[in-house]
Amino acid sequence: MTYTRMGNSGLIVSRMCFGTMTFNAGSEWIPGVAKVDQNDATEMVHHALGSGVNFFDTADGYSSGESEVILGKALGKRRNEAVICTKLGFRQSDQIGDAGLSRAHVLKQIDGSLDRMGIDHIDLLVLHKTDFTTPVEETLAALQTAVEHGKVRYLGVSNWPAWQVARAVQYQRDHRLAPFVAGQYLYNLVSRDIEQDVLPMMADMGGGLMAWSPLAGGLLSGKYDPEKLEDGEGRLSEGGDFLGIDTGTARKMIETLTDIAKAHGAHPATVALAWILAQDRSHSVIFGASKMSHMDAALAAPGLTLTPDEQKALSDIAPPNKRYPHWFDTMMTDELNTQILS
């Protein structure tokens, strides 16, 4: 296992983060995803700990909080070996105020997460989504209260646009508030939009990436035919394709992953995860599992070193399209200064 600091902080985490969205105690939530019961979850959590993983991700919205309950029970007396990240922000009920990032909802959900997991503090609290109905200053003040009361140690965001994160971080700096040190974003070989704005912003402002859906919902594991997703086994076969990847691109990526995997005696999923880890030393990857074999393929990623040619072969298949002003910046880069300073 390899480790990194989470952004510009002293929090040291394994670069492989075990995501627990699959944990479920019986609720009907996202068929094909949430299907791991307490016994299997406990076995998986202990396997992760034994493999050097100290980083675990959950959320109050995963199976209506059941994921948090199961994770807390699975860790049990080994809680102090784990860095627990949980998230809040999504609607919890039909009550008007039971959603978002208002002071009332943030503080309520923090207490709820602590209670469900049976712990006295959250190591990393991530805001799961944006809330444009609540002033960001109110949200940041509520987070500061939770930090000062010892209920939360570190803060992060997920799915926020770069401009909103930058504005919030500057406000935190100006008012000496606890800063955002983590960003949880969709990132994989065929979904690389964040390379345009989010990743440069995070590098400049001291945030570490937690890549979610690193296998594009299982597509990059090689178990699906891109043109016949319904014939596979898992979330994509049950209508869980929310990325809409072009089938030609998906097929070429899977073929390349398979070829590189064969050369290393590895699984295609291992190669896809290793590519993310190779992009930046600060990146961490959230991997999920419904079977122990899924875990083993993921946990092999830190030990797989891709050659520069292999990285390029993968990177060239689905680069993000540069939008204005990104293409203008690239076109107008001063060649002399770039040359002498590189």
> Which active-site residues does the annotation give?
62
| C-beta neighbour count of 316 within 10 angstroms | 10
Name residues whose C-beta falls within 8 Å of residue 227's C-beta, 6 or more positions apart in sequence: 247, 251
Distance between CA 269 and CA 274 in Å, rounded? 9
Name residues whose C-beta falls within 8 Å of residue 266's C-beta, 6 or more positions apart in sequence: 300, 304
Ramachandran area for residue 84 (φ above 0: left; ψ -120 to 50: alpha; else beta): beta
Find the DSSP H helices in 118-197: 136-148, 162-174
The helix (H) or strand (E) run that includes residue 252 is helix 247-264
Kindly state the tokens that stand for 330. Answer: 């690239």
Kindly state the tokens that stand for 247. Answer: 């089938």
Dmax (CA) for the chain in angstroms is 62
Beta strands in 197-270 (DSSP E): 208-212
SS3 content of the chain, % helix, strand, coil (to 5): 45, 15, 40
Find the DSSP H helices in 240-325: 247-264, 268-279, 292-299, 308-315
Distance between CA 306 and CA 309 in Å, rounded? 8
Distance between CA 66 and CA 220 in Å, rounded? 28
